[in-house]
Structure 1
Amino acid sequence: MEVCYNKLFKLLIDKGIKKTELRKMTGISPNTLTKLSNNEFVSMAVLVKICRQLNCDFGDIVEIVESPEYKTANPKG
C-alpha cells in the first residue's frame, strides 16, 4: 500500500494556496513538502498540522492506494 496526496494538492488549488504558502502556514520543512509532492510517507504530526491549517480531515488530503507490487503479490486482494 502507498499514499497519495493528490487530494491535498487539489484542495490547495481550490483554496488558492501555493505549496510554499502551505509550508509557511504549517511550519513544515522544504524536505517534507518534497516528500508530499513525491507521495512519500510523512509523520502523523505533519498531517495533523496541515489538517488544522486547512480546517479539514485526513481523508480530505490523503488516500491509501494499492501499489503495483502489492497487486502482483496478492492478485485476489
Structure 2
Amino acid sequence: MTISYNKLWKLMIDKNINKTKLREEAGISSNAMAKLGKNESVQLEVLAKICKTLDCNIEDVCEILFEE
C-alpha cells in the first residue's frame, strides 16, 4: 500500500500556490511538507489543515494505491 499526493501537487498548480506559501498559510511544519514530497504518511491533522487552506476535500489531495 502506497500513499500518493500527486493530486495535491496538481491542485496547487491549478490554484497557483507554491509549497512555501501552502506551508505558511496552512500552518504546517517543513518536516510535514518534506514527508508529503516523499509520499510518506503524515498526520490526518496536517491533511485537514491543507484541505481547509485549499478549500477542498481529502480525496482531492491524496489517494491510497493498493499493490497487487
TM-score past 0.5 threshold: yes
Structure 2 unaligned blocks of 5 or more: none
Give TM-score, length-normalised by structure 1: 0.85
Provide the residue aligned with 2:41 in structure 1: 41
Instruction: Indicate the structure (1 or 2) with the bigger Cα radius of gyration.
Output: 1
The amino acid of 1:4's aligned partner reads S
CA RMSD between the two structures:
0.7
Question: Taking every aligned residue pair, what percent have the same amino acid on both sides?
Answer: 50
Match of 1:60 in 2: 60
TM score, norm. by length of structure 2: 0.95
- Deviation of 1:2 (Å): 1.4
1:1-77 to 2 correspondences below 5 Å = 1-67=1-67, 71=68
Equivalenced residues, count: 68
1:11 is aligned with what amino acid?
L
1:75 aligns with none
